[in-house]
Amino acid sequence: MAHSIGGIPITLRLRIEAGIGNTLTDVGYADIDTVIPVTVEPMAGAGAKVVVDTSALTSMVSGVVAAFESVIPVVGTHNHKPVQHRDGKPPWCPTCGLTADGNEPVSHLG
């Protein structure tokens, strides 16, 4: 039978970036504050092993990544070709709406 000996408090920051070509754009980050449980399990004889359960943390990280993926288009899934439009903005891709460097186009016409 395992016995709890406490936990390890951690803060994990996930930084999310999107890339177009050789340019990375910082999209955001998510902080996960949690405590990783630590238990001691007796072994045959007089020994015991310390067990650190990271399954909950793994699940939280997967959830955060899935949340970002659901709102951010996956770059590289289309033919990213910015073209010049008649809107006073720098050339932008008609599929994703971003410029060649991954930014939202801003009109210089004011």
d(CA 16, CA 72) in angstroms, rounded, equals: 10
Contact 60, 34 (CB under 8 A): yes
Q: Predicted confidence band at 12 (pLDDT cuts at 50, 70, 90)?
A: confident
- 1 or 18, which is more confident? 1
DSSP secondary structure code for residue 52 in this structure = E
Contact 57, 64 (CB under 8 A): no
Segment (H or E) for 108: none
Rounded to two decimals, the pTM is 0.44
d(CA 28, CA 108) in angstroms, rounded, equals: 27
pLDDT, residue 37, reads: 87
The pLDDT tens digits of the residues spanning 56-97 come to 888 888 887 777 766 665 555 567 778 888 888 888 888 878
pLDDT, residue 73, reads: 56
Kindly report the CA angle at 106 between 76 and 87, in degrees rounded to 5? 95
